[in-house]
Structure formats: structure tokens, C-alpha cells
Amino acid sequence: MNIHEYYYTGHSKKLYIEFSTKEDTDLFYRVLELDFSDVKYYSPTIIYEEDMDEMDEDFLVEIMEQYFLDNDLPEQQNL
């Protein structure tokens, strides 16, 4: 997975991630929006909202991998 952009909005408590998979190549990207409750559920470790400012791409990939065990990938979007 290749993370293009991500940010967490404390006001709406949403994590926004733009990413692509190896199958997407450089032609497409995908968008995933998770509520903080989803982030907590799929996080491999205990996480608090204060920790969201310190996320790195490795942590995001771990959450996304867990999320996609239960859910389908979002639709592809053209770059």
C-alpha cells in the first residue's frame, strides 16, 4: 500500500486517507474515511484520540490491513 495523504480532523473525529495499492499502479487512488471509533476498533494497539497527531504511515497501514479483512477496498478514482 502506498499512502499519498492522510490527516485526522479532531472536530469531526474522522481519519481521511488517500492511498493506492500495487494493483492500482500510478493511474488510480482510493479514499478511506474512518471514524475514530473505527480506528480504535481496528488498531492493533490501544489508542487514544490524543495519539492521532502522532500517527505514522506504518501505523496507518496496520489499521487499514485490519480494516480490509472485514471490508472491501474503496472504489478506484482516477488521478
Residue 26: predicted pLDDT: 77
pLDDT at 41: 97
pLDDT at residue 1 in the model: 87
Helix (H/G/I), strand (E/B), else coil: 57: helix
Residue with cell 494497539: 45
Please, are residues 26 and 79 in contact by the beta-carbon 8 Å criterion?
yes
Pairwise CA distance, residues 50 & 53, whole Å: 7
Which among 6, 3, 11 is positioned nearest to 54, based on CA atoms? 6
- Residues 26-78 have pLDDT tens digits of 789 999 999 999 999 999 999 999 999 889 999 999 999 999 999 999 999 98
